[in-house]
Amino acid sequence: MRPLLLGPLLAPLCWLILAEAKSDQKPEDNLLVLTVATKETEGFRRFKRSAQFFNYNIQVLGLGEDWHGGEKETTLGGGQKVRLLKAALEKYAEKEDQIILFTDSYDVLFASGPKELLKKFRQTKSRVVFSAEELIYPDRRLEAKYPQVHDGKRFLGSGGFIGYAPNLSKLVASWQGQDSDSDQLFYTKIFLDPEQREKINITLDHRCRIFQNLDGALDEVVLKFETAQVRARNLEYDTLPVLIHGNGPTKLQLNYLGNYIPRFWTFETGCTVCDEGLRSLKGLGDKALPTVLIGIFIEQPTPFLSLFFKRLLSLRYPRKQLRLFIHNHEEHHEAQVEQFLEDHGSEYHTVKLVGPDQRMKNADARNMGADLCRQDRDCTYYLSMDAEVALTNPDALRILIEQNKAVIAPLVIRAGRLWSNFWGALSADGFYARSEDYVDIVQGRRVGVWNVPYISNIYLIKGSTLRSDLRQKDLFHSSKLDADMAFCSNVREQNVFLFVTNQHSFGRLLSVDNYQTTHLHNDLWEIFNNPEDWKEKYIHENYTEALKGKLVETPCPDVYWFPIFTETACDELVEEMEHFGQWSAGDNKDTRIQGGYENVPTIDIHMNQIKFEREWHKFLVEYIAPMTEKLYPGYYTRAQFDLAFVVRYKPDEQPSLMPHHDASTFTINIALNRVGVDYEGGGCRFIRYNCSIRAPRKGWTLMHPGRLTHYHEGLPTTKGTRYIAVSFVDP
């Protein structure tokens, strides 16, 4: 029997299988993205993330090579890109269905996926489509040779083009130039040759349906917020480009667009979520945590420096993994810095102090701080922090490290203002310009990690970045710019991105412009300039509970007792009065103060004598008036006062006070030191009710009506010195 010949029978079946396999292939499977990148910059990583987000198939050419195409990968030159493309196309030259997208990468991002890209490309009916620009480059003399365009952009841009592989092979076949020659000029001359243009079948994307070059077109491009994503829209042509190219001087504008494209956008939360993810430090032991050098800069008289150091100690990070570099430019703060280092310096791995006696300038000190980390291979991160930063989030350092950025700042804002430590945009001369989303970011209506052109006051830098991209010794000097602006400019020039995050509440910036240094305790005068820090330092931690009706005691009828001042507030007010030193009694001075009278003279110093009456009134309005209105229902006060003073009682000076009525609607008496420790005896007796308070608590205030009902006397101080702050308040 003859063997059965299966070949002829199997052939149709094989063709059927192949046909089915081919039909399963998605159109975008024939698309390959080629790009050139000789090193992995942050712009390149952003490009890759956007490509991965939209599922593009990418092949990178030249990675690891030295760049010979010009001074920078994105400037004049580019012949190296043509050479690399020509070599890469050799294996695709005969593949008629293979579509190649060639694009720059450092300053490009995708705004949509392969399906839309291919649809728009095929609609052109051309075999090769180049991006189009408003501006001609690099040879203006060629303008007359360009075909006229009725609608759209006229000139070729080489930063992005798409075509069938055989046609692209023909496009680059004649390249014999140097790596430093202009790729754009090469492609332009081919396009301007009518015979080659027709032979290769080249056209331009005149209406920016595929490619959007930003140079010369910034006014045309806006963000279009859709339900779950954001697109860049060209208003001039009403198109949604697939690729966005920040060519020429438009890198910062691309960085701005890159904050939203590609990102998921949630209208409910106003939140953009990056696709990188965080590198969590949870579960790591203390010794496994990265070593951080913290550079502290005290460049001007700064309020609440004691709170700054307190917050530094509150960071949830092992101190033995922290190294300190402190530049203190101010003699005014020398004692505070030395006290901090005496108390806590040994808790840190190392400490270096540059004091005011060394007369080091701001930029030099900041260069020194960065260089200390740069030279230390164990320094994984460098946190630069100015003393005017109130870093109230104890997890701030961990959060910044987890973001895994080369340079990142936490958002800090001046309380009640739009002033912050970042700029969303720059003006043409390199100074501040408000970006469209600046207010939304500052006020938390848009939340995320934002690529910005300028940060200051506090930021974290990777040590590896300082030893590579930012290895130049001088980051902070400039003939025209301040140290912070020079730093940001130098970082941007190295193609390193600056980020700011507002995903958490980190703290605030102090106002330092009007800080006085003429008093013993200057922070007392900061209630207007820095009210939040004034409250933190001087208002009792339980005041808020008292305002809710808790912790308020009634030791006598209509006499209320509640916490108001911290120990620090009491001590500094006493020390300020003793420093002033002009204690006086009513019997040897004019008792008429601000239109009021002391019914019974005391040994005292009035608030107006130390020029503190304006601040004292603010304190009464902010903290006493709300308590008054809660405890005396139906009574409202503007907290006006004629008399406010600190009284001193001593056994051999004035131990007590005779019975009297206060010349007030109501009175507050705040105990400024501690009975049984600083003095013995003292207290207040309300005669009409035969009710006494003999152990006043430091920082607590008695509040009682004046004039008619609460006739009272000061009980004798038998030992030591007693201080109380008194204020007679009228409506």
One domain for residues 456 and 565: no
Two structure tokens written together for 164:
């069938």
Inside any domain, residue 336: yes
722 a catalytic residue: yes
* Tokens 């989030």 -> residue: 393
Cα–Cα dist 529/362, whole Å: 24
Inside any domain, residue 318: yes
pLDDT per residue over 530-575, tens digit each?
999 999 999 999 999 999 989 999 999 999 999 999 999 999 999 9
What pLDDT score was predicted for residue 167? 98
Cα–Cα dist 118/99, whole Å: 9
The kind and range of the H/E element at 343 are: helix 334-344
Instruction: Kindly tell me if the per-residue pLDDT of 225 is higher than 80.
Output: yes
One domain for residues 435 and 574: no
What pLDDT score was predicted for residue 265? 66
One domain for residues 360 and 415: yes
Task: Tell which residue, 645, 566, 561, has the closest CA to residue 601.
Answer: 645
The kind and range of the H/E element at 499 are: strand 498-501
- Radius of gyration from C-alpha coordinates of the chain: 36
Q: Which of 200, 230, 265 is the last residue of a domain?
A: 265
Contacts of 401 (CB under 8 A, 6+ apart): 279, 281, 290, 292, 381, 460
One domain for residues 91 and 231: yes
- Band the pLDDT of 272: cuts 50, 70, 90: low
Residues facing 129 on adjacent strands: 162, 203
Contacts of 515 (CB under 8 A, 6+ apart): 301, 302, 303, 522, 526, 529
HEC-encoded secondary structure of 31-96: EEEEEECCCCCHHHHHHHHHHHHCCCCEEEECCCCCCCCCCCCCCCCEHHHHHHHHHHHHHHCCCC
Domain with residue 434: its CATH number is: 3.90.550.10
Cα–Cα dist 231/257, whole Å: 9
Inside any domain, residue 189: yes
Instruction: Kindly tell me if the per-residue pLDDT of 422 is higher than 70.
Output: yes
Q: Which of 486, 509, 532 is the last residue of a domain?
A: 509
One domain for residues 237 and 375: no
Two structure tokens written together for 325:
């570099």
Instruction: Kindly tell me if the per-residue pLDDT of 23 is higher than 70.
Output: no
Inside any domain, residue 589: yes
Is the omega angle on the peptide bond into residue 138 within 30 degrees of 0, that is, cis?
yes
Compute the CA torsion angle 342, 348, 349, 350 (nearest 10 deg).
-40
One domain for residues 245 and 302: no
Instruction: Kindly tell me if the per-residue pLDDT of 325 is higher than 60.
Output: yes
One domain for residues 469 and 549: no
Instruction: Kindly tell me if the per-residue pLDDT of 155 is higher than 50.
Output: yes
Inside any domain, residue 271: no
What pLDDT score was predicted for residue 429? 87
What pLDDT score was predicted for residue 448? 93
Residues spanned by the domain of 231: 31-249+258-265
Task: Tell which residue, 724, 540, 514, 723, has the closest CA to residue 615.
Answer: 514
Instruction: Kindly tell me if the per-residue pLDDT of 426 is higher than 70.
Output: yes
Inside any domain, residue 192: yes
CA 127 to mean position of chain CA atoms: 47
One domain for residues 538 and 644: yes
One domain for residues 38 and 155: yes
Domain with residue 624: its CATH number is: 2.60.120.620
Instruction: Choose, from 46, 311, 323, 722, the residue flagged as catalytic.
Output: 722
Inside any domain, residue 272: no
What pLDDT score was predicted for residue 538? 98
What pLDDT score was predicted for residue 595? 37
Task: Tell which residue, 340, 301, 312, 309, has the closest CA to residue 511.
Answer: 301
Q: What is the mean pLDDT of residues 9-38?
A: 64
One domain for residues 397 and 452: yes
What pLDDT score was predicted for residue 707? 82
Cα–Cα dist 155/136, whole Å: 6
One domain for residues 488 and 567: no
What pLDDT score was predicted for residue 7? 40
| Range from 22-26, 628-632, 706-710 carrying the lowest mean pLDDT | 22-26
**The total number of structural domains that make up the chain:** 3
- Band the pLDDT of 131: cuts 50, 70, 90: very high
The kind and range of the H/E element at 508 are: strand 507-509
What pLDDT score was predicted for residue 283? 81
pLDDT, averaged across the chain: 91
Q: What is the mean pLDDT of residues 51-74?
A: 85
Q: Which residues of 562-592 are buried (b: 16+ CB within 10 A; e: fewer)?
A: bbbbbebbbbbbbebbeebeebbebeeeebe
pLDDT per residue over 474-524, tens digit each?
999 998 899 999 999 999 999 999 999 999 999 999 999 999 999 999 999
Contacts of 605 (CB under 8 A, 6+ apart): 577, 580, 582, 583, 584, 645, 646
Instruction: Kindly tell me if the per-residue pLDDT of 276 is higher than 70.
Output: no
Inside any domain, residue 691: yes
| Range from 23-32, 115-124, 266-275 carrying the lowest mean pLDDT | 266-275
One domain for residues 566 and 441: no
Q: Which of 265, 298, 317 is the last residue of a domain?
A: 265
pLDDT per residue over 234-268, tens digit each?
999 999 999 999 998 999 999 999 999 987 666 66
What pLDDT score was predicted for residue 190? 98
